[in-house]
C-alpha cells in the first residue's frame, strides 16, 4: 500500500491533575495534552489520522538542569523532526515501512546531535508514526488489530531483528485482540494508601476514589504497580502497609510489579531493598506475587555489564524489565544479553517497535512455548480520547492480560475536553467510559476495562479530535499552565 504525506497539524490543550502524580524525581500536576493530525493520500483519496499524548515533565529527558518549559520545547522539536522526515520520505506515493525505518533513524541522529536522549527521539518519531497508522487503517476501513495481522503496514521484521527473518506479526500475535483487560493500578510515591492518609485540605471531593484502599474496595483491583523511592526504611514501611491492605481485600489473589523508575544509581542500594523484602515475613505473600521488577537502575548504567550482575541474578527468580532504557530498536536485545527478561510496551515509544519487541519476546519464549520472558503494558498518565484508547488498542492487539493504567486516577476523566467530545466518547465507547459523579471517565468493573469498542476503524478511537478547540505551538504559552 503506497501513501503520500499531504498535510499535518499539531494542537495543544492544557490539563490539570485531580491529584499530584509523583514518579521518580518528577511530580506531575499539570501538562499540555497534544494531538497530532496528519493527512495522507491513498489511491488519490485524502484521509486524516490522529495521534495524541501528554507532554510530561522529566520522563523522556531527566536532565536535572532542564526546566519543564525546555523539556516541552524539546518534545515539540523532536516531533517536528519526524514530521519533516515523513514529508520528505513520503513526498510521492511510497511504502510506509521503509519510510518509518528511515525517519526513525533520522530523528535519532538529529536528537543525538543536540544531546537529546534516544527515548525522546523514539517519542518524537512515534507521534507521527501513530497518526499515519491511524490514517492508513481508516483509509482501508480496518481496525488496527486487523491491519497488523494482514500486515497492512508492510513490516519486514527481519530487516530490524535478523532473528525474525521470514516472520510477520501474525506469526507471534494472538489470533484475536483482547476485548477486556485488567488494570494494574499505579501506586505513586505520594499517593495516599488509606483514607486516613488524606489531609482535609487535600481531599479531591469529586466522588471518585482517591486512596488505594478505596480503589481496591470499590473497583475490585487485582493488579498493582508500586513505585519505590530508594529510601529503604520508607519503602519497606509503605510496602508493609500496602501488603496488609491488599491481603485484607483480596487474600493471596493479586499481582504486583515493583517500579524503580531509575531511582537507583548504585546497584547495591537496589539489591539491599530486594534482600530486605525477601526476609521480611509480612512481605512473603507480596514478594511471591511480584510479577516483574521494572527499570530499577538509571538509564546511564542500566545497560552496562559493570552494573547489572545483580540484575542477572534477580532475573533468575523474578523478571527484571527495561522501560526508560528502551530507547532504541536494539535496546531490548542488549538488555536480554545482560540478563533482563522483559520490556515494556508504551505507544509513546513506538507502536511498530512494540510489535517487534513482542516478536522477540515470543522468540525467546521458544516461540510461545514458555513464559520466561515478558512484555508488560505501561502508562504515561495517558488520558482519553486518543492517547489512552490507542495505547489500549495496542496492548489488546499484543494480547496482554493486564496493563498499568493511571490516567483515570490522576486526571479527572475527560473533563479537560469540550463537552461535545465527552458526549461523543460516551456514545461510541460506552463500554470503556461512563458518567461518574458528573465526570465522563473510564469505568473499572471488577478490576477490568471493557475495550471491545476499540476494535473500530482506525487506531482504537471512533471519535475524531476537534482540532479547532486546541492551540498551535505558536499560540500556546507555557505560562498558561499556571
Torsion of CA 64, 109, 33, 190, to 10 degrees: -30
Domain boundaries, the chain: 2-163, 171-469
Report whether 62 contacts 136 (CB < 8 A): no
CATH class of residue range 171-469: alpha beta
If DSSP codes are grouped into helix, strand and coil, which group holds residue 24?
coil
Do you know the residue count of the chain?
482
Q: 345-400 pLDDT, tens per residue? A: 999 999 999 999 999 999 999 999 999 999 999 998 999 999 999 999 999 999 99
Residue 123 has pLDDT above 90, yes or no: yes
- Give Cβ neighbours of residue 183 (< 8 Å, ≥ 6 apart): 219, 221, 223, 402, 403, 404, 405, 444, 447, 448, 449
> Can you read off the three cell numbers belonging to residue 58?
522529566
d(CA 447, CA 254): 11
Residues 309-320 have a mean pLDDT of 94
Average pLDDT value for residue range 128-138: 98
Read off the pLDDT of each residue in 93-104 and give the average, rounded to a whole number. Answer: 98
pLDDT at 167: 98
Grid coordinates representing 143?
481496525
* CATH number at 2-163: 3.30.390.10
How many Å apart are CA 135 and CA 112, to the nearest integer? Answer: 29
Contact 190, 17 (CB under 8 A): no
Amino acid at each position: 500500500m503506497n501513501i503520500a504525506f499531504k498535510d499535518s497539524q499539531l494542537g495543544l490543550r492544557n490539563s490539570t491533575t485531580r491529584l499530584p502524580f509523583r514518579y521518580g524525581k518528577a511530580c506531575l500536576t499539570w501538562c499540555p495534552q497534544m494531538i497530532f493530525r496528519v493527512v495522507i493520500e491513498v489511491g488519490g483519496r485524502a484521509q486524516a489520522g490522529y495521534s495524541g499524548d501528554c507532554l510530561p515533565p522529566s520522563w523522556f529527558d531527566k536532565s536535572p538542569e532542564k526546566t519543564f518549559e525546555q523539556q516541552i520545547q524539546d518534545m515539540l522539536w523532536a516531533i517536528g523532526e519526524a514530521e519533516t522526515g515523513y514529508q520528505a520520505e513520503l513526498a510521492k506515493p511510497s511504502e510506509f515501512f521503509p519510510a518509518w525505518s528511515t525517519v526513525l533513524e533520522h530523528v535519532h541522529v538529529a536528537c543525538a546531535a543536540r544531546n537529546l536522549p534516544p527515548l525522546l527521539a523514539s517519542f518524537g518519531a512515534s507521534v507521527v508514526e501513530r497518526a499515519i497508522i491511524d490514517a492508513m487503517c481508516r483509509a482501508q476501513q480496518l481496525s488496527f488489530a486487523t491491519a497488523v495481522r494482514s500486515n497492512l503496514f508492510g513490516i519486514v521484521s527481519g530487516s530490524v531483528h535478523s532473528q525474525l527473518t521470514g516472520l510477520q506479526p501474525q506469526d507471534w500475535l494472538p489470533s484475536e485482540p483482547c476485548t477486556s483487560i485488567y488494570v494494574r493500578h499505579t501506586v505513586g510515591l505520594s499517593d495516599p494508601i488509606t483514607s486516613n492518609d488524606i489531609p482535609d485540605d487535600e481531599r479531591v471531593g469529586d466522588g471518585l476514589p482517591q486512596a488505594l484502599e478505596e480503589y481496591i474496595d470499590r473497583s475490585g483491583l487485582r493488579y498493582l504497580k508500586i513505585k519505590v523511592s530508594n529510601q529503604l526504611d520508607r519503602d519497606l514501611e509503605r510496602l508493609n502497609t500496602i501488603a496488609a491492605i491488599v491481603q485484607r481485600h483480596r487474600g493471596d489473589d493479586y499481582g504486583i510489579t515493583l517500579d524503580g523508575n531509575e531511582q537507583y544509581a548504585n546497584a547495591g542500594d537496589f539489591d539491599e531493598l530486594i534482600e530486605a523484602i525477601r526476609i521480611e515475613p509480612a512481605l512473603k505473600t507480596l514478594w511471591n506475587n511480584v510479577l516483574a521488577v521494572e527499570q530499577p537502575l538509571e538509564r546511564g548504567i542500566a545497560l552496562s555489564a559493570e552494573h547489572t550482575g545483580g540484575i542477572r541474578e534477580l532475573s533468575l527468580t523474578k523478571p527484571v524489565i527495561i522501560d526508560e532504557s528502551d530507547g532504541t530498536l536494539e535496546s531490548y536485545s542488549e538488555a536480554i544479553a545482560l540478563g533482563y527478561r522483559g520490556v515494556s510496551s508504551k505507544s509513546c515509544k513506538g507502536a511498530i517497535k512494540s510489535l517487534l519487541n513482542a516478536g522477540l519476546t515470543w522468540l525467546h519464549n521458544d516461540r510461545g512455548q514458555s513464559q520466561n520472558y515478558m512484555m508488560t503494558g505501561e502508562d504515561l498518565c495517558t488520558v482519553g480520547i486518543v492517547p489512552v484508547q490507542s495505547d489500549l488498542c495496542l496492548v489488546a492487539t499484543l494480547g496482554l492480560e493486564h496493563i498499568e493504567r493511571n490516567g483515570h486516577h490522576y486526571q479527572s476523566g475527560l473533563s479537560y475536553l469540550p463537552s461535545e467530545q465527552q458526549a461523543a466518547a460516551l456514545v461510541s465507547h460506552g463500554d470503556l467510559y461512563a458518567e461518574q459523579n458528573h465526570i465522563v471517565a473510564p469505568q473499572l468493573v471488577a478490576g477490568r476495562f471493557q475495550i471491545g469498542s476499540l476494535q473500530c476503524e482506525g487506531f482504537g478511537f471512533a471519535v475524531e479530535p476537534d482540532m479547532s478547540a486546541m492551540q498551535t505551538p505558536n499560540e500556546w504559552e507555557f505560562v498558561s499552565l499556571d
